[in-house]
Amino acid sequence: MTQETFEHWVRTQLAPRLRRGDVVLLDNLEAHKSAAVRQVIERRGATVHVLPPYSHATRRGMPLRL
């Protein structure tokens, strides 16, 4: 997935469905690291959290700290 494709999806599909207080979790895909994506999400009143890189701790069911 390209950054352009992801940004388009966020603007046209995700953002219209977001409400104030929603949380959007993103992994470390390069396309997710766009400032434009974060701005679109935050303008809707949602919060963006980027997941940490994969580790054995997260695989074992350790809770994520947001």
Tell me the per-residue pLDDT of 36-47, one tens digit each, with 9 for 90 and over.
999 999 999 999
Provide the whole-model pTM: 0.79
pLDDT at 52: 80
In a domain, 19, yes or no: yes
Domain assignment of residue 55, given as a range: 3-59
Flag whether 36 is in a domain. Answer: yes
Question: Is residue 66 in a domain?
Answer: no
64 lies in a domain? Answer: no
Rg (CA), the chain: 13
Q: Is the pLDDT of residue 57 over 60?
A: no
Residue type, 34: S
CA distance 7 to 13: 10
Judge whether 14 lies within some domain: yes
Whether the CB-CB separation of 6 and 32 falls below 8 Å is answered with yes
Residue 15 lies in a domain: yes
pLDDT at 60 (0 to 100): 61
Q: Which two tokens stand for residue 16?
A: 């219209």
**Domain total for the chain?**
1
**Spatial CB neighbours of 10, under 8 Å, sequence gap ≥ 6:** 37, 40, 41
